[in-house]
A and B are shown apart, each in its own frame.
Chain A
Amino acid sequence: MMITFMNSSDSEEEACNERTSLMSAESPPVSSYQDGLQAPEASETPAHRKSHTGGSRSPSDDVDGGNSESGLPVRDIPLDNEEEELTLKYGAKHVIMLFVPVTLCMIVVVATIKSVRFYTEKNGQLIYTPFSEDTPSVGQRLLNSVLNTIIMISVIIVMTVFLVVLYKYRCYKFIHGWLILSSLMLLFLFTYIYLGEVLKTYNVAMDYPTLFFVIWNFGAVGMICIHWKGPLQLQQAYLIMISALMALVFIKYLPEWSAWVILGAISIYDLIAVLCPKGPLRMLVETAQERNEPIFPALIYSSAMVWTVGMAKPDPASTGCSQQTWDSAEDVRENHDNPTYVDSEISEARSPALIHPTASLLEELEEEERFMSDSFIASCVQESIACSSHLHHLWLDILLLNRQPGETFHGHPGISSVVYLKVKKNNLEGYGLFFLKPCYEVWHFKQGSCIVLHLVPYIFKRTF
């Protein structure tokens, strides 16, 4: 029997198909619970399900629910059993899919710290951590670090609340403008500094024109990949690089004890912000869900994405669902009032795109990739902004780039998973909160309640 299991788990080696475009993190309307969901799925799934077990099943068994609702872009929420299975399979596989980028990020950070002296030289502190740690006594140092933490956390709380307020009052252009500005800063300025230090370390001479060329290309492609469309892996790579840059800045500017205390405090804060009913992040998500809008798509790390492919033959079902997925993306950028205009724009844009055989397959493929967003990018960017004392006027970025709560189902209209999982009857929720601080990753699944702290870079710093 074990062989079967092993074989089956071998066989479902789904590579996440990279048909990509930047999926907007949608929060489509809460669909009605369909008790009859089992029936349409029953035809295709039993064999399918039996062969896929454990933690790594493709979510295509949920697709059929979507298929059966022709024209209805909303994915039906499966019932209890399937919900739980979904969570578990979603959890195991996608957790692993997130191990890789986080590990890569840590490798980059550790490699940089080991080789480039700049990031370990203590050269001042941020204005957010005004208390110095060069104190004679241990108690004083502890006190200073706690005070630094309090200041930092209050800054973050204020910013988050400000963000929620902005979002509530629909200042989208403002928010997006700042989003773009902050990622611009990340991609250009921090990369420039990083590149400069690396070149200094290895004593490589580079003239300014070459430097400009390199950084311009890097930054421009990064902006496009992150904020618009791009190959999945390139987008992932950019997000990893950005996170690593953030982490490095933090390592440089945060004093040690403060860093540790902030680590603990921010984990607790994040849990509170997302899980408490009045938590700012929870309110943000709920507002987004009420309005059926994505939540700042540009800053979510996607482990898999889906092209919204065009159809040779306009099929109402597919265009319906595709429209849904694009709609929100366009919505945010354009106005809400012209869905028809947007629609025609989309269909035009996609007619030269890939031709997909069938509508149902389209939906299936769109559903196929379900992935977690993690907000480590956001938090890293946030902290990078916080760190940079010259850029205190970009505090809003902290706001905007604050942690994206939970996981989001991308692609086909799936509800933002925080909300989706919230509405599950048996209250089996899995929240993934991901934020990559300089040296740690906290991943919290309410179901399993594992907290994994990767302290690798700090350990390395000590042992090497």
Chain B
Amino acid sequence: MTLAVFWGCTCIAFGPALGLCLVTVLRHPLRVIILVAGAFFWLVSLLLSSLVWFIAVKASDPGNKPLQKGLLIFGVLFSVLLQEAFRFLYYKLLRKAIEGLVALSEDGCSPISIQQMAYVAGLGFGLMSGAFSMINLLADALGPGTVGIHGDSQLYFLTSAFMTMVVIFLHTFWGILFFHGCETQRWWEMAAVVLTHLIVSGSTFWNPLYVGSLIPSYLLMFAMAAWAYVLSGGCTRNLLQRLQGQQSETSPQPGS
């Protein structure tokens, strides 16, 4: 594999997310802290779920392929549920943080709203998730070898990169939806997030039939994006106006 593959996959997977980061997060220290803490929360959830999977694997018969596959599926399921649980925990933490920030500020207003925090937290989750998905692949891409020489798909790196990108975006939108659901006590939004997460992760079991995992994920991503946009106060009129370069009266920013 070549340096071109490495850079290409890196940019595909992380380009949009890092662009988002650069434009919206990196210039604001508070958001950077929330981002990093969110990444850390995701990391902890991954650690715990992988511990569980590891123990399960060690305790089972390594030769039994269906069992191992079943354990993997179980591991993924458990990991998804744990990630969402940690998202909820992070929401709780951020709520407390907002109260603290409000108390500390002089005009009784938090410098950052829960919607912004939701976005940043989702981005943090996504970035860390993407990092863990792609880093090993990228490291291997730098070394010698041929993709799929033993009969596997040759598109492995490319599809992984695209999958990573969509997962990062999905985490961002899930963050917005989830926090909104928590804020407005709409449990069905939270359930939708969990469900779609399970669907996306489950669809990866269709790999190497990449059309089975990438296409549903992208469709879901667009759906989540639209939903998050609407929840954040945007509407189609604004979007069209923006696309046509006009000034819109109402802001598509998250409402206060």
Q: Do A and B come from one complex?
A: yes
Residues on A lying within 8 angstroms of B by beta carbon are 1-3, 5-6, 9-10, 13, 49-50, 53-56, 81, 84-85, 88, 92-93, 95-96, 99, 450, 452, 463-464
A9: contacting residue among B27, B36, B105, CB under 8 A: B27
Chain B, 91-131, CB within 8 A of any chain A CB: 101, 104-107, 109, 111-113, 115-116
A2 and B28 within 8 A (CB): no
Instruction: Report the minimal beta-carbon distance from B134 to chain A, rounded to whole angstroms.
Output: 11
Instruction: Report the minimal beta-carbon distance from A334 to chain B, rounded to whole angstroms.
Output: 39
B253 partner residues in chain A, CB cutoff 8 A = 2-3, 6
If A81-B106, A88-B104, A463-B135 touch, does A10 touch B27 (CB 8 Å cutoff)? yes
A85 partner residues in chain B, CB cutoff 8 A = 104-106
A92 and B30 within 8 A (CB): yes
Instruction: Report the minimal beta-carbon distance from B176 to chain A, rounded to whole angstroms.
Output: 14
B139 partner residues in chain A, CB cutoff 8 A = 463-464
If A452-B40, A464-B139 touch, does A2 touch B254 (CB 8 Å cutoff)? yes
Given contacts A55-B33, A452-B36, 11 further A-B contacts (CB under 8 A): A2-B115, A2-B251, A9-B111, A53-B109, A54-B101, A55-B29, A84-B104, A85-B104, A92-B33, A96-B33, A99-B36
A5: contacting residue among B27, B37, B112, B251, CB under 8 A: B112
If A1-B256, A2-B116, A450-B37 touch, does A13 touch B27 (CB 8 Å cutoff)? yes
A56 and B28 within 8 A (CB): yes
B136 within 8 Å of A by Cβ?
Answer: yes
Instruction: Considering the complex, give the chain B residue whose CB is closest to the CB of A464.
Output: B139
A53 and B113 within 8 A (CB): no
B76 within 8 Å of A by Cβ?
Answer: no
If A85-B104, A85-B105, A463-B139 touch, does A2 touch B113 (CB 8 Å cutoff)? yes
B32 within 8 Å of A by Cβ?
Answer: yes
Instruction: Report the minimal beta-carbon distance from A115 to chain B, rounded to whole angstroms.
Output: 12
- Chain B's interface size range is 20 to 34
* Interchain CA distance A452-B135 in the complex, whole Å: 21
A96: contacting residue among B29, B107, B255, CB under 8 A: B29
Residues on B lying within 8 angstroms of A by beta carbon are 27-30, 32-33, 36-37, 40, 101, 104-107, 109, 111-113, 115-116, 135-136, 139, 251, 253-256
If A2-B113, A9-B27 touch, does A95 touch B106 (CB 8 Å cutoff)? no
A463 and B33 within 8 A (CB): no
B255 partner residues in chain A, CB cutoff 8 A = 2
* Interchain CA distance A6-B32 in the complex, whole Å: 14
Closest 6 CB pairs of A and B: A54-B111, A55-B30, A1-B256, A96-B29, A92-B29, A53-B111
A53 and B105 within 8 A (CB): yes
A54 and B106 within 8 A (CB): no
Instruction: Report the minimal beta-carbon distance from B40 to chain A, rounded to whole angstroms.
Output: 7
Instruction: Report the minimal beta-carbon distance from A160 to chain B, rounded to whole angstroms.
Output: 31
25 cross-chain CB contacts under 8 A: A1-B109, A2-B251, A2-B254, A2-B255, A3-B251, A3-B253, A5-B113, A9-B27, A53-B105, A54-B101, A54-B112, A55-B33, A56-B28, A81-B106, A85-B104, A88-B101, A88-B104, A92-B33, A95-B33, A96-B32, A99-B36, A450-B37, A452-B36, A452-B37, A464-B139
Instruction: Report the minimal beta-carbon distance from B109 to chain A, rounded to whole angstroms.
Output: 8
A54 and B40 within 8 A (CB): no
B107 partner residues in chain A, CB cutoff 8 A = 50
Instruction: Report the minimal beta-carbon distance from A8 to chain B, rounded to whole angstroms.
Output: 9
B113 partner residues in chain A, CB cutoff 8 A = 2, 5
A2 and B256 within 8 A (CB): yes
Interface hub of B32, B37, B135, B255 (most chain A Cβ within 10 A): B32
B40 and A55 within 8 A (CB): no
